[in-house]
Amino acid sequence: MTPLFLFFLAAVDPCSYLPEQDLRQVFEIPESTPIRIVRADSCGYIWMGLPPTGPQLREALRSGRRLPARANESFSIRIEPIPNAIKELDARFEKLTKGYTVDRDGQQLTVKPQALSWVPSVGEKAFWNESLSQLVVARKNELFSFVVKKQMKPADLVNAATTAAQAALRK
């Protein structure tokens, strides 16, 4: 396929940035694990996560808590065409770190400040939103949002999102 066709396809379908086969490779999802693809204004993949590990089971049994269940895991990509994406990314970072209010149905709702951190070596500029497990990346005139819901340590989530973003942005 020509680069122009791939660009057109990606503009129409965010899933073309990280096809299922690439997703399986990045997140080490076995071929035997079914993946459901959800398309709307973004591209989402949902699959059943691995069963709890031995240490997770032992901890649950020791503390008298319920055993952790296998949970759905997911990854999504959303792309927004925005002129001067870096300036928009900086504005969002500033707004989210300070918190803000929004008017919904005549009521003022407060959005609390969020824990954000800059992530180097992804796109032109990127930040991680820990509370949403979201990596937001600026590249040229586009903002990419990568959301990872996976049973991992927080630092591993950032690394997984970064790896997936780098793979997607190579397209």
Q: What residue type is 53 in one-letter code? A: T
pLDDT tens column, 61-104: 777 766 555 567 899 999 999 999 999 999 999 999 999 998 88
The pLDDT > 90 percentage for the chain reads: 56
Structural domain boundaries in the chain:
3-169
Calculate mean pLDDT across residues 47-71. 67
pTM, two decimals, is 0.78
Calculate mean pLDDT across residues 34-42. 88
Q: Given a cut of 90, is residue 166 above it in pLDDT? A: yes
Burial class (CB in 10 A: 0-12, 13-18, 19+), 151: middle
Q: Given a cut of 50, is residue 16 above it in pLDDT? A: yes
Q: Given a cut of 80, is residue 3 above it in pLDDT? A: no
